[in-house]
Amino acid sequence: TATKPRQPELKTALPGPQTQAIMARDAQHLSTSYMRPYPFVPDHGEGVWLTDVDGNTMLDFFAGIAVSTTGHAHPHVVKAVQEQVTKFSHVCLTDYPQEITTSLAERLVKHVERPGEKWRVFFGNSGAEAVEAAIKLARNHTGRSHVISTLGSFHGRTYGAITLTGSKTKYKRGFGPLLPGVTHVPYPNPFRPPLGSTPETCGQAVIDHIESLFQTVIPADEVAAIIIEPMQGEGGYIVPPADFLPGLRALCDKYGIMLIFDEVQAGMGRSGKMFSFQHFNVQPDIITLAKGIASGLPISAMLAKESVMTWPVGSHGSTFGGNPVAAAAAHATLDLLEGEVRHPGCGESLMQNASDVGTYIMNELRKMQAEFPFLGDVRGAGLFIGMEFVKPDGSPDGKLRDRASMAMFEKGLLNLDCGEAVIRISPPLILTREEAETGLGIMREALAGL
């Protein structure tokens, strides 16, 4: 609309006085575990713009960690939530069915079911809960206990999920003992190929490595599941080589192992397809979803093939899981993602928009690599894009990344780091090409000033 901002508008020096006051109270009363990458306290949002408590309007390339699919306060989502909350906001899905969650499950499985293959859905509230449900189901179904996960992965902060997480020891230090029976293997990162492999061979190298473990340390018939992010999020926005996931599928089939795809960050249209694994012609047994499902309302889902979802009545549940208000927001989000409802300026659907605008951003960033040699790698799919900062010798440059992140913020671009030296670009999927240009302009200026 005509009233939408086109550029960030900074009315105060950052941080402004209200921001400082709230941050001081926050530091007094909230958990000491929270991180504060830069001083920002939101007051309200509209679309891809967030205005802080001092009236500074910023462009949001962070989206609450890849959550705000439809941007902030999308009218279609707001209306759906308002309508549901006047009916009822809770009854407990573990005990009563609710049409709004039944139809949400029906809509979600449509994106994964193949002819002759039915799927079912368990609803939770967070990514970690979806991951816990996936592990419990895999163990229950197979009667096996071991789980293989990847280095660099992030699966959440509950005990099972932090055990699976393989990225940073700060998530684990002082919290042990963790879940027994978890082994981590390298993730096939083509920019930094593990196990002495090359960008082309790193996928097969990881598969061979797992199979060698079956001969030496983990009997394959004790492995319940391999859990993996089809595109790795917190670890650095990494896209594996094309042959990797199909190869992993074949390995799992050979040994009767459940293949779990954690789509919490890359799923729900962000990669330009509903699920990021759909770029690779492969089908998992179990899928975990959260973040982007409901444009910010808390709901998560664990999807499993019907043949796998064999746990008995009463064996798993959640008081809040599948909350109807969050489910209403999820329906509205899906309306926009699938294109049943159009968002002005975003073509046929938000999923298509993520693909189109994401491709544009990635191409522009790749051009910027020629200008800025410290931009070692630009990768991703759709609006799931990572830019990795490197030293002249090619090693990761986390310090430069941190300076770049702060410089972007100071120019009005909300952004978030990941991995050792990566800035992720994970904006709302309603980002128009014009707004993308604004963001790219800020990034170029910030990088030029480093």
Binding to ligand PMP by CB under 6 A, coded x per residue (else -) over 12-51, reads ----------------------------------------
In the bound state with ligand PMP, the residue whose beta carbon lies nearer, of 374 and 384, is 384
In the bound state with ligand PMP, the residue whose beta carbon lies nearer, of 302 and 407, is 302
Residue nearest to ligand PMP (CB): 127
Given 8, 160, 233, 272, the residue binding ligand PMP (CB under 6 A) = 233
Least distance (Å) between residue 412 CB and ligand PMP: 25
The alpha carbon dihedral of 380, 385, 391, 397 has a sign of negative
**What ranges in 30-70 are assigned the alpha helix state H?**
63-66
d(CA 256, CA 142): 8
Q: Which two tokens stand for residue 238?
A: 């990494």
Scanning 24-32, 77-85, 121-129, 328-336 for contacts with ligand PMP by CB under 6 A, the matching segment is 121-129
Q: Shortest CA distance to 186 belongs to which of 200, 202, 164?
A: 202
Given 128, 162, 301, 332, the residue binding ligand PMP (CB under 6 A) = 128
Q: Shortest CA distance to 158 belongs to which of 135, 184, 129?
A: 129
In the bound state with ligand PMP, the residue whose beta carbon lies nearer, of 290 and 337, is 290
Query: Is 406 exposed, middle or buried (CB count within 10 Å of its CB: 0-12, 13-18, 19+)?
Result: middle
SS3 string, 101-133, reads: HHHHHHHHHHCCCECCECEEEEEECCHHHHHHH
Least distance (Å) between residue 23 CB and ligand PMP: 22
Q: Considering only residues 280-339, where is the footprint of ligand PMP by CB under 6 A?
A: 290
Residue with tokens 């983990």: 218
Interaction between residue 264 and ligand PMP (CB under 6 A): yes
Scanning 28-36, 99-107, 135-143, 257-265 for contacts with ligand PMP by CB under 6 A, the matching segment is 257-265
- State the DSSP code for 294: G
Interaction between residue 127 and ligand PMP (CB under 6 A): yes
Interaction between residue 418 and ligand PMP (CB under 6 A): no
Q: Considering only residues 129-148, where is the footprint of ligand PMP by CB under 6 A?
A: 131
In the bound state with ligand PMP, the residue whose beta carbon lies nearer, of 127 and 427, is 127
Least distance (Å) between residue 266 CB and ligand PMP: 7
Q: Which two tokens stand for residue 311?
A: 């746990």
Interaction between residue 261 and ligand PMP (CB under 6 A): no
Tell me the residue length of the chain.
450
Q: Shortest CA distance to 264 belongs to which of 275, 272, 273?
A: 275
d(CA 374, CA 118): 48
CB count in 10 Å sphere of residue 343: 23
Least distance (Å) between residue 277 CB and ligand PMP: 12
Ranges assigned E (strand) in 216-368 = 223-228, 258-262, 286-289, 300-305
Interaction between residue 383 and ligand PMP (CB under 6 A): no
* Residues within the interface to ligand PMP (CB under 6 A): 65, 126-128, 131, 154-156, 229, 233-234, 262, 264-265, 290
In the annotated binding site, the residues are 127-128, 154, 157, 262-265, 318-319
